[in-house]
Structure 1
Amino acid sequence: MVKVVAKHFVKKDKIQEMLSVVKELVAITIKQQGCINYEMYQDEKDKSILTMIEEWNTREDLTNHLNSNEFKSLAPQLEKFMDKPVEINIYKKVI
């Protein structure tokens, strides 16, 4: 199992636009092979921090997602909403 935590630092006036694109990305991604979970969370203290938490069966499933036409067309759209680059961590279960 692979988990991804992608922390987005969104411009305060672009949060709703960001969520609109992410909603489309989530709807597509949850149907992809190997996707267990794909959800976005908003920080309670700082509403401009949106974090995508993903769960995939295998690293190959994650790679296929990242190489999908849908991801390649939607993900770049998110950059225009950002204050700074996304922080991405990929984890594998050890215990």
Structure 2
Amino acid sequence: MLTVIAKITAQAGKEEIAKQALLGLIPPTVAEEGCIDYVLHQSNEDAPIFYFYENWESQEHLDKHLANTHLVEFGKTSGEFLAGPAELILATKL
């Protein structure tokens, strides 16, 4: 199992827009083959910061997710409300 922690930072004042867009990624992602879970969190201390906690069956499943249409489309518009690209941490459960 591959775990991903994605740190995503919204532009100042655009936290709600970012939150709604990120929440919109959940339904199509959890329907993907190999997705074990895909859970969004928002920082209690710094509202513009969001985290996705994700578990995938394999690196191949994650790679397919990253190339999936809904994520590619999100990437085309996310510059309007995100401060930059997501920071990803990949880890393997021991």
Equivalent position amino acid for 1:8 in 2: I
CA distance in 1, matches of 2:23, 2:83: 20
**1:86 shift after superposition:** 2.3
Residues 1:78 and 1:34: Cα distance change in structure 2 (over 3 Å): same
1:33-90 per-position Cα deviation (integer Å, ceiling 9, x unaligned): 0101111101111111111111101111111111111211123322322234421111
Count matched residues.
94
Q: TM-score, normalised by structure 1?
A: 0.88
77-86 vs 57-66, which moves further? 77-86
Match of 1:60 in 2: 60
**Pair 1:25 & 2:25 matched:** yes
Task: Name the SS for the 1:11 alignment partner.
Answer: coil
Residues 1:75 and 1:39: Cα distance change in structure 2 (over 3 Å): farther
Match of 1:45 in 2: 45
CA distance in 2, matches of 1:37, 1:50: 16
**1:24 shift after superposition:** 1.6
RMSD (Å) for aligned C-alpha atoms? 1.4
Task: Name the SS for the 1:46 alignment partner.
Answer: coil
Equivalent position amino acid for 1:83 in 2: A
Q: TM-score, normalised by structure 2?
A: 0.89
In structure 1, the gaps of 5 or more residues are none
Tell me which protein shows more strand as a share of its residues: 1
Match of 1:83 in 2: 83
CA distance in 1, matches of 2:90, 2:76: 19
